[in-house]
């Protein structure tokens, strides 16, 4: 299953600023609080840069510790989305710590440069608020101070995810036996899509496409493929960590589960990126540990490496996540490009005879139906009865993500996954020229993502199967 590196012209990546929600996604109308009316320490109210709301904005003093503190009222206790509107005319990130009632809620929330002091953008964060009055303080953590603060908007909350969504129904997930189970202890199957590499195709993951994925495709889960090499995380850790924060928030708003994919591919030994992984997962887990919809995938496709090396990596990185988030599910790629070793000439006995020493984990398996048939299928069928398995990547074409679609063998796989309640995400939610990208080339430059007119054959096929009604038992 040696997949070539995905090559594409670099495109403008999604800014760290959060995307606005469409009306259909918002759980309740937000309430806006103007920064100039907040408590200000080491900052001044100004009105010399156009585009602000209210009567002005707050210009933080260029010192560590300057802050703006808003007093907001929450009708109900629980999760609420904070949307900060700001401008940052520099090229440097000006992060802020966000505290709620004196307790750190978000560490180093990024406020990237906006290009000009008259260009205003938004950043979001999800926090827990108490019913009634809350003090939300945003404090500069560098000597540059904070960005120019225009306003804070707070959604109506409601104590949890949007009613009727996969997350609202199933709540916090856990592994029970060899199945992924919901808050009622019942096995479930999640079905959804994987992004392409976000360093290349972030323009395909935006408000309109995410709304379509959640409401038209009716997806349960979004996998965010963050490559480590190939112009990804390694090239700019701050930028790609902030992008991942943003995608987590966007999936959360829409009531979808989100799979944080540490997309190592070359080098194939995940230990090569262990130090980077520890830094990344510490921050991600610390910020999002209170969410019920986050799943961590700590190694995409180990390859040309022994299972013992993969296991060693897992037993070093899983405790890093557990130190911050002790009870979320962790996924782990298997050797042979996540084929239980089959594509490396091995088999599942490597894992069965030497499982990872950790709980609440699942092992991942990848297949491309036009290339991986009886040998891979049989291994999956055998192994899924012995260990917890999730399909974090599959395609209806060859292992290159291109070529002709084999829908017959793809359906054979999906029938097996349905029978065993094994969840899956399909590769990939982009308009790449390859047959495995669901959208026709050029689609992502527009704003229309519902229906089938802009889909390639593989997109029509997988959308139809995601839209099949879920079976989420609650009794």
Distance CA 475, CA 473 (A): 6
Furthest-apart CA atoms within the chain: distance in Å: 68
β-pair partners for 259: 223, 295
Phi first, then psi: give them for residue 138, nearest 5 degrees.
Answer: -115, 115
Distance CA 320, CA 298 (A): 11
Q: Which of 218, 168, 225, 238 is nearest to 195 (CA)?
A: 225
**Catalytic residue status for 168:** no
Candidates 36, 249, 283, 393; catalytic one = 393
Distance CA 338, CA 256 (A): 24
Distance CA 432, CA 5 (A): 13
CA 256 to chain centre: 10
CA 264 to chain centre: 16
Query: Quick check: 236 and 268 in contact, CB under 8 A?
Result: no
71: preceding bond cis by omega (within 30 degrees)? no
β-pair partners for 391: 424
* DSSP string across 54-96: TT-EEEE-SSTT-EEEEEEEESSSEEEEEEEEEE--SSS---E
The residue count for the chain: 475
Q: Which of 428, 462, 459 is nearest to 195 (CA)?
A: 428
Distance CA 338, CA 125 (A): 33
State the residue for tokens 């029509």. Answer: 460
Task: For the beta carbon of residue 234, count every other beta carbon within 10 angstroms.
Answer: 14
Phi first, then psi: give them for residue 54, nearest 5 degrees.
Answer: 70, -145
Distance CA 38, CA 61 (A): 15
**Catalytic residue status for 69:** no
Candidates 249, 283, 301, 348; catalytic one = 301
Active site residues: 301, 393
């Amino acid at each position: 299953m040696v997949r070539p590196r995905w090559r594409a012209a670099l495109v403008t990546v999604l800014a760290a600023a959060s995307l606005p929600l469409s009306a259909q996604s918002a759980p309740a109308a937000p309430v806006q609080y103007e920064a100039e009316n907040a408590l200000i320490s080491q900052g001044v109210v100004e009105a010399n840069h156009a585009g602000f709301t209210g009567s002005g904005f707050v210009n933080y003093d260029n010192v560590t510790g300057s802050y703006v503190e808003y007093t907001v009222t929450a009708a109900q206790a629980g999760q609420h989305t904070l949307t900060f509107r700001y401008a940052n005319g520099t090229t440097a990130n000006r992060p802020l710590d966000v505290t709620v009632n004196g307790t750190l809620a978000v560490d180093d929330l990024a406020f990237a440069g906006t290009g000009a002091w008259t260009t205003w953008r938004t950043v979001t964060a999800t926090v827990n608020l108490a019913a009634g009055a809350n003090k939300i303080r945003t404090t500069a953590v560098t000597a540059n101070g904070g960005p120019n603060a225009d306003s804070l908007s707070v959604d109506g909350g409601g104590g949890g995810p949007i009613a009727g969504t996969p997350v609202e129904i199933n709540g916090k997930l856990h592994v029970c036996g060899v199945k992924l189970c919901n808050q009622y202890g019942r096995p479930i199957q999640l079905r959804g899509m994987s992004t392409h590499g976000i360093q290349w195709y972030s323009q395909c993951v935006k408000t309109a496409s995410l709304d379509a994925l959640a409401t038209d495709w009716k997806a349960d889960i979004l996998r965010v493929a963050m490559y480590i090499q190939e112009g990804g995380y390694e090239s700019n850790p701050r930028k790609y960590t902030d992008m991942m924060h943003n995608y987590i928030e966007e999936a959360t708003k829409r009531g979808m589960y989100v799979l944080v994919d540490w997309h190592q591919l070359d080098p194939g030994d995940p230990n090569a990126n262990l130090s980077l992984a520890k830094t990344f997962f510490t921050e991600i887990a610390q910020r999002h540990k209170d969410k019920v919809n986050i799943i961590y995938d700590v190694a995409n496709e180990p390859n040309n490496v022994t299972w013992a090396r993969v296991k060693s990596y897992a037993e070093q990185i899983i405790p890093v996540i557990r130190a911050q988030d002790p009870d979320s599910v962790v996924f782990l790629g298997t050797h042979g490009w996540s084929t239980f070793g089959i594509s490396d000439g091995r088999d599942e006995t490597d894992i069965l005879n030497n499982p990872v020493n950790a709980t609440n984990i699942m092992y991942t398996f990848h297949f491309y139906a036009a290339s991986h048939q009886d040998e891979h299928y049989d291994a999956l069928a055998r192994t899924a009865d012995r260990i917890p398995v999730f399909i974090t990547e599959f395609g209806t074409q060859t292992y290159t993500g291109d070529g002709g679609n084999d829908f017959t063998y793809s359906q054979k796989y999906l029938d097996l996954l349905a029978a065993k309640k094994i969840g899956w995400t399909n590769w990939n939610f982009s308009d790449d020229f390859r047959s495995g990208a669901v959208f026709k080339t050029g689609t992502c430059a527009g704003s229309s993502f519902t229906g089938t007119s802009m889909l390639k054959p593989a997109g029509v096929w997988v959308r139809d199967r995601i839209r099949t009604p879920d079976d989420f038992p609650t009794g």
